Amino acid sequence: MSEVTIGLIQTAVTDNVQENIRKTAGLVRKAAEKGAQIICLQELFNAIYFPQYEKYSAGKFAEPIPGDTINLFSQLSKELGIVIIVPLFEKASDGNFYNSAVTIDAGGTILGTYRKIHIPFDPLFYEKNYFKDGNLGYQVYKTKFASVGVLICYDQWFPEAGRINTLMGADIIFYPTAIGWVKGHHSEDGDWHNAWETVQRGHAIANGIHIAAVNRVGEEDRFKFWGGSFVSDAFGKVLKKASHDKEEILVATIDLSMNKKIREGWG
């Protein structure tokens, strides 16, 4: 199968975990109705971006894998016959906490968990206060529709991650993300959005691979998340892009045979 249809779910998030899950599950159904075969949610999809605070009682957002949330999406995957990538705050059996993403195949089977490897620690990105470095390595999953690599947010700034996923056989790399402008500093931060999109399109070009980045929208305390979820082909062309301020279901059909053509074109 050379063509596959992917769906990205871009939402605003509240402090109500169950409402976030309910809303997102409904949007997954709608994406499937639009023909999406592989659907990716945004980073920490059911939680506010609590790492903007140096200290925050984030325990209510954490859960084991599998847990209630993953079980729900596994059932949804089986019912709809789709692949779902679910990023969430993992409470692991080793007692540590991770920023993770679970890939569920179209039959509802959990293929694996990727734990974010590159953990930022900057003002408003105090992730090291909450997450351990990922310890499961890079992973590529052979799903019903395509082989997918999953990287999370800050991983996107490191070219090695995209290259390794490509060498491991990924047809497409998904980047679930939570990134935005600091309120009152939009003009100063404007170039960051351009850099964010450009670096990921660069991974597509350098590796001859399709990429899909899914971000959140809305305002959370000092952040205005810039949305702009997008899908790029294997030569860096943006095929579809979401708005900066609206919840959206972004659906795009990609031709995976382009990966080989681009790579062969480089000689």
Active site residues: 43, 116, 153
CA atoms within 13 A on the CB side of 151: 27
| C-alpha to C-alpha distance for 264 and 267, rounded to whole angstroms | 5
And the tokens for 107? 């039959």
> What region, left, alpha or beta, does residue 44 occupy, with left being phi > 0 and alpha being psi -120 to 50 degrees?
left
Residue 126 bridge partners (DSSP): 121
Note the Cα 44 to chain centre separation in Å.
9
Two tokens at 186? 């939009």
Cα separations in angstroms, 11 against 32, 139, 230:
16, 26, 14
CA-derived radius of gyration, the chain: 17
Cα distance between residue 116 and residue 131, in whole Å: 9
**DSSP 8-state class, residue 209:** -
Question: How far are the Cα atoms of 39, 90, 103, 104 from residue 28, in angstroms, in the given order?
Answer: 7, 21, 14, 13
As given in the structure block, the two tokens for residue 53 are 């605070």
Whole-angstrom Cα distance, residue 41 to residue 83?
11
Q: What would the two tokens of residue 213 be? A: 């980045």
